[in-house]
Amino acid sequence: MTTDQTGLRVAGAWLAGASLLLALALAFHGPLHPDLEVQMRHIGESAPRWAVVHWTAAAAFSCFTIAAVLVLVSRSRLTSTGKTMSAWAVVLVGALWTLTTAITEVTVIADLAASRDLAQFKAWWSFAEGHGNGFSMLAVAVAVIAWNEYRSPHPVLPKWSAGIGAGAGLASFAGWALGVWLDVGPANLLWLLASGVMCVWLAWLGTVLARTRDVSNGER
């Protein structure tokens, strides 16, 4: 096993851990409400849960950052084209952006929700939401990564699962775009559910990578 393969196995472990942490955070996060006053009330009424959820999310995005760096330096088939290399770079940047959102949610936004300061809450929510767009970037990147696996002659995962991963990434992006950018309330539930499926697929990918001896031909 070469040094590059060792790096990829370690990246897989970080990716699996990140995905499971994010799936756990999403399960207790709940869909966003389009009415910010209602959203503020929800946060203020469940501040301890909100804090745990977003510290868990912050840990997840930190792990995604580490996994993306390790994949990018591993020189494996996962980054053998410009598209896939760019996708993993976008995972890195998207995770860093969303990490800022998670920490802001735990600190400033939670305190403002508890104090019912709607004006300041709206201002900081806009800041967090702007950085939260990194999640939509990450979702598109996952769709590209999964589609590359689907088209590969030697996929790491079964082709049918790669199709699900690509679809989940696109659905997560669509849910975020419709719910956050266009204020379509039901789309927030689509974002939550699709993101959960995306995390399960990423956890599977990471687990297989962590056990794979040679990703160039899918040998385990």
* Residue 153 included in any domain: yes
* Residue 60 included in any domain: yes
Q: Model-level pTM?
A: 0.90
pLDDT range class, residue 4, cuts 50, 70, 90: low
* Residue 163 included in any domain: yes
DSSP percent split of the chain into helix, strand, coil, nearest 5: 85, 0, 15
47-105 pLDDT tens trace? 889 999 999 999 999 999 999 999 999 888 889 899 999 999 999 999 999 999 999 99
* Residue 216 included in any domain: no
* Structural domain of 27: 3-211
Q: Mean pLDDT, to the nearest integer, of 154-168?
A: 94
Q: Mean pLDDT, to the nearest integer, of 16-44?
A: 93
* Residue 218 included in any domain: no
Q: Mean pLDDT, to the nearest integer, of 117-126?
A: 93
Question: Is residue 153 predicted with pLDDT exceeding 60?
Answer: yes
* Residue 133 included in any domain: yes
Single out the residue of 125, 108, 99, 95 nearest to residue 34, CA to CA: 125
Could you say which DSSP state residue 110 is in? Answer: H
* Residue 74 included in any domain: yes
Distance of alpha carbon 81 from alpha carbon 120, whole angstroms: 45
Q: Mean pLDDT, to the nearest integer, of 162-177?
A: 97
Question: Is residue 220 predicted with pLDDT exceeding 70?
Answer: no
- Structural domain count of the chain: 1
Question: Is residue 161 predicted with pLDDT exceeding 90?
Answer: yes
